[in-house]
Amino acid sequence: VRHELHVRTEVRSFVHKEEVRTEAVDQEDLLERAVLAQNVKDQQLMIVDLQRRLLSVEQVTKKLCIGPSDVDHLDKVMSFT
């Protein structure tokens, strides 16, 4: 009977250690998930910022392409002299 009781104690102790280890892993997972979620948010903000900058560069480029450039004008003036 003592041997049986001893085995049960070991099993119970093992299960308790596994539960503690599982809880520790869960805490680590939660921290890692929080860090990953923050990284995703930061990357989304960077993407939005880059898209905004690209749009403004495209708008500036369109404005520059509308009329003749100063360089073309200078080339024509220089060729007449």
Distance CA 65, CA 68 (A): 7
- What is the model's pLDDT at position 69? 59
DSSP secondary structure of 5-72: HHHHHHHHHHHHHHHHHHHHHHHHHHHHHHHHHHHHHHHHHHHHHHHHHHHHHHHHHHHHHHS--HHH
pLDDT at 26: 83
Token representation of residue 44: 């989304």
Q: What angle do CA 18, 9, 25 make, to 5 degrees?
A: 10
pTM: 0.46
Domains of the chain, residue spans: 2-80
Predicted confidence pLDDT, tens digits, the chain (81 residues): 455 555 555 656 666 677 767 777 788 888 999 999 999 999 999 999 998 888 888 888 887 766 655 555 555 555 555
